[in-house]
Amino acid sequence: MLRYITAGESHGKALVAILEGCPANLLLSPEDINSDLARRQAGYGRGPRMKIETDKAEIISGVRKGKTIGSPIAIMLPNKSTELFNTPFTQLRPGHADLAGSIKYNQKDARNILERASARETAGRVAAGAVCRKFLSEFKIKIESRTVSIGGVLSAGMWEKMIDEAREKGDSLGGIFEVAVTGAPIGLGSYVQWDARLDGDLARAVMAIPGVKGVEIGLGFGAAAIPGSKAHDEIFYDKQKGFYHKTNNAGGLEGGISNGEPIIIKAVMKPISTLRTPLQSVDLATKAPSAAHVERSDVCAVEAAGVVGEAVIAFETARAFLNKFGGDSLEEVSSNYTSYLKQASVL
């Protein structure tokens, strides 16, 4: 079973991702991970920390002589900026986990909440997802993202100006990103139990990205405004192509199962919660009114969130793939997959 966890704090010594269940004999190098880590740090509107950190993966277990060996893969991402780790604060920040986290974990210093709740943790998810992306590429499955809108505006030519204006005001902007999975075969996921549905796994993974407040698959919320005759994708058959659809309103998923079309997921990312012109709040220690704590942060990170979306979707897709075609080595998985494709072609 494929699974991963991350550990580490935003300004601590390092972030760590541990991926367990990756088959043996997959070619894997730090460069396979570093390219996605660099993309996560890119995008107009990112904050000053992106100029400090240059995330480079150090693979500390699970790989020998350039190949996975079947044991857990541990990846460490050292932090360069650690100076804030011992700096306390109590001025709660609206939109963050500061208030709820401080009460839940009985903490008097909101720094203890910020350090783990920070979106920097997603670097670990991107590292784990990069390994899954490399695995999926062996089967010609690709995952890409794009920014759909910023601040409600669809025109990309306006985005930089809008971000600049928000920066000058000490404000922030959110937007919508889209992730597409192409090449996934028919049959990933299941309708047999609610927790085996691939659409549910994908939606949960994307919803768990910091700042994401809404997820839709395919036509999504747009399906509420049209009749069924226009919402569903008619099915066709061709001797060369096999079964296929001319439209993809379902976003590649029907009954919780991939249907062979591209899997399309959109997500809404709220504006960054930390504002240079802080909102009104309360001091955790004194309970007196206070301006929210200001920490260096991004103005807009929608493009970066798309990269994180790619990573978590890569993991869920790889997990579903291994659940169906599982094996302990890449060769075994490949053999199972080839057998399935032959079976499907004569149905």
Task: Count Cα neighbours of 180 within 13 Å in the Cβ-side half-sphere.
Answer: 10
Q: Is 180 helix (H, G, I), strand (E, B) or coil?
A: strand
Q: Could you tell me how far CA 273 lies from the centroid of its own chain?
A: 19
Residue (of 81, 68, 62, 59) closest to 127 by Cα position: 59
Pull the structure tokens for residue 128: 């784990």
CA dihedral 162, 166, 171, 176 (to 10 degrees): 20
CA angle 259, 140, 191 (to 5 degrees): 25
Task: Please state the residue numbers annotated as binding site for NADP(+).
Answer: 40, 46
Name residue, tokens 């053999």: 335
Give burial (CB, 10 Å; 0-12/13-18/19+) of 110: buried
Task: Count Cα neighbours of 125 within 13 Å in the Cβ-side half-sphere.
Answer: 24
Q: Is 205 helix (H, G, I), strand (E, B) or coil?
A: helix
CB 89 within 8 A of CB 290: no
Task: Please state the residue numbers annotated as binding site.
Answer: 40, 46, 116-118, 255, 270-274, 296
Residue (of 181, 192, 83) closest to 133 by Cα position: 181
Phi, psi of 17 (to 5 degrees): -120, 135
Q: Could you tell me how far CA 76 lies from the centroid of its own chain?
A: 18
Task: Please state the residue numbers annotated as binding site for FMN.
Answer: 116-118, 255, 270-274, 296
